Chain A
Amino acid sequence: MAVDLEKLEQLLTNKLREKFGDAIRDVSEYRGELSVDVDREVVLDVCRMLKDDPDFQFDHLSYVSCADWSAQGKTPRYTVYWDLYSVPRTHRVRVRAAVPEEDPTVSSVTSIWRSANFMEREAFDMFGVIFQGHPDLRRILMPDDWEGHPLRKDFPLGGVKSFYFKRATDPGAGEPPDLIPRIRRQESDI
């Protein structure tokens, strides 16, 4: 069941541009995958259309996550992406939206696909991007009292402080463990 990529690209461009105009920045193809870059304000409406339109029927949300471009010095700092799949039509598309550092918010798609619940919580936990309209936006993998967002590029691999040595009598309490400078060196090597 091969998918006609060119046809899908045409359809996506025409239908989305017709409804959302310039809010659809770009429709591109790379390695046989289609990506749609949109303004973050229209993400929810674009996703709803992609799910409901009989030509698209993207009824399965594969993956939601985020990338932090600060190591490359790009602005806006974050890109949130949604990987969608259609079970009846067996095609895929990726929706991407740029999210600025000053106001890291984007609409939650939990009202369309409930699978977004956990994945948006993870993206929030790891990057600090806030998904507006999410029913229960809490940390999911890190402890509730964790400070910082680990997958941001300015978060060091070894962590910023020792999490486990909390009592004053514990070895290493009060001073950062040796581990951290070593890993910071590695980070600067890149």
Chain B
Amino acid sequence: MATRVVEHNYSNIESMTLNMGPQHPSTHGVLRVILELDGETVTKCTPVLGYLHRAKEKHAEFKTYHQFIPYTDRMDYLSPMSNNTAFVMTVEKALEIEVTDRCRYLRTLLCELARMSAHLLAVGTGALELGAMTVFMWGFTQREKIYDIFEFISGARFTVSYMRAGGVAREDYPEWRRRVREFLDGYMNTQEEMEAMLNENEIFLQRMIGIGKITGQDALNFGLTGPSLRGSGIDWDIRRDTPYLAYEEADWEVAYETEGDCYARFLVRMREMRESWRICCQMLDKLEKHSHERMNIDNPKVIFPPKDNVKKSMEDLIHHFLLASEGFKVPSGEVYHSIEAPKGELGFHLIADGGPKAYRLGVRSPSFVNLGALEHMCVGELLADVVAIIASLDPVMGEVDR
């Protein structure tokens, strides 16, 4: 067999185009980035989205408000509790419903558990991509416990579909609260171990400090929200500045850093987990205190009756049937409600037309907008750092493409 010798002349090659994704393991799903490289330096970076597009906004126009709740689980699939909450709170705002105190405490507790779970994954996979596997495993051990907690209250580990307009699907119970307490008691150990492992790890710092810098003004202009914005020194947290649920009643602080690099965003996430833990402990105490109170609102036109009553009472059977088949009607009007989801500002823009289905439901997903700043952060960095920058923005593709 003849050997073919190919001669390359590298001197006139100015740049190289490199395709990264959509099946690249470090892109957190199906993000595709087209990079132009000069040597190892990125000169252009174009994210290509849409590989997980499932037309949820279109589906929302064909489903009743109750039927759409499971769809929200599958947006940011790492924190379905937050997505559920954001959606039902939008509907509640349009219906002018105030939920009970006990329900507010429970929702806050679950949202914060979801934040801890999402940040544990963000930090764990971020470190994994830079070569540190241990933290990933520790984080997943704790996430497993959080999923058990979700399973014990909602019946599902991952896609919980737990929140309802006007309340929640099932009430909490003493054994569940005991399990949450047990998890919270043991959690701080792991948090401290993770911090000891990463915060001053020389290899980790070398890969994170000064990488993917973005100034506060730029971050705000690019629409970054959540930990990505607070890493750049903008002290804005929806939980504190436009309070919802029971955040006003808890004692906690907004975590922010001023450097604006990958390490700052990582530190914000680490500190937010501590704050979330604090909020969780307080909410659990409040929940214990209010455990004898009513959970769901007293409005049979909106909230499903308890299943036991459906078997005994005619009215409840009728309400159950009507809610399941027809849904409740929302007065026509336009509302926007946003909450601080683990990734940033998660907002729902609902246009109701007086019927049981949304006329138009727009979703402002934080990951989608955050990715808009990717090019700004990547240009001028090395190819290997693109992975660290994507990890520090923490996009979830289910939410980007929806």
Instruction: Check A60–B223 contact: CB distance below 8 A.
Output: yes
Q: Which residue of B lies closest to A159 (CB)?
A: B55
**Chain B, 339-381, contact with A by CB distance < 8 Å: what is the 0/1 string?**
0000001010101010101011010100011011000000000
- Residues of chain B within 8 A (CB-CB) of A187 are 62
B50 within 8 A of A: yes
Instruction: Check B221–A114 contact: CB distance below 8 A.
Output: yes
In the complex, chain A residues 143-190 whose Cβ is within 8 Å of any chain B Cβ: 143, 150-151, 155, 157, 186-187, 190
Contacts A63-B364, A65-B362 given; indicate if A31 touches B335 (C-beta within 8 A): yes
- Residues of chain A within 8 A (CB-CB) of B372 are 114-115, 117-118
Q: Which residue of A lies closest to B402 (CB)?
A: A141
- Residues of chain A within 8 A (CB-CB) of B158 are none
In the complex, chain A residues 18-53 whose Cβ is within 8 Å of any chain B Cβ: 30-33, 35
B247 within 8 A of A: no
Q: Which residue of B lies closest to A59 (CB)?
A: B220
A83 within 8 A of B: yes
Q: Which residue of A lies closest to B357 (CB)?
A: A190
Residue B345 contacts which of A62, A65, A116, A143 (CB distance < 8 angstroms)? A62
In the complex, chain B residues 233-267 whose Cβ is within 8 Å of any chain A Cβ: 234, 236, 241-242
Q: Which residue of B lies closest to A122 (CB)?
A: B368
Instruction: Check B336–A141 contact: CB distance below 8 A.
Output: no
In the complex, chain B residues 55-103 whose Cβ is within 8 Å of any chain A Cβ: 55, 57-59, 62, 93-94, 96
* Most central of B225, B357, B360, B368 by chain A CB within 10 Å: B360
Chain B interface residue count, CB cutoff 8 Å, equals: 43
Compute how far the CA of A92 lies from the CA of B222 in the bound complex, rounded to whole angstroms.
18
B182 within 8 A of A: no
Residue A87 contacts which of B234, B359, B368, B371 (CB distance < 8 angstroms)? B234
- Residues of chain B within 8 A (CB-CB) of A8 are none
Compute how far the CA of A81 lies from the CA of B362 in the bound complex, rounded to whole angstroms.
11
Nearest-Cβ distance from residue A101 to partner chain B, whole angstroms: 16
15 more A-B contacts (CB under 8 A) besides A30-B334, A87-B241, A151-B360? A31-B96, A31-B335, A59-B221, A60-B236, A63-B364, A83-B364, A94-B336, A114-B221, A116-B223, A119-B369, A126-B57, A140-B49, A141-B49, A150-B55, A155-B58
CB-CB nearest 3 A-B residue pairs: A115-B223, A63-B364, A141-B50
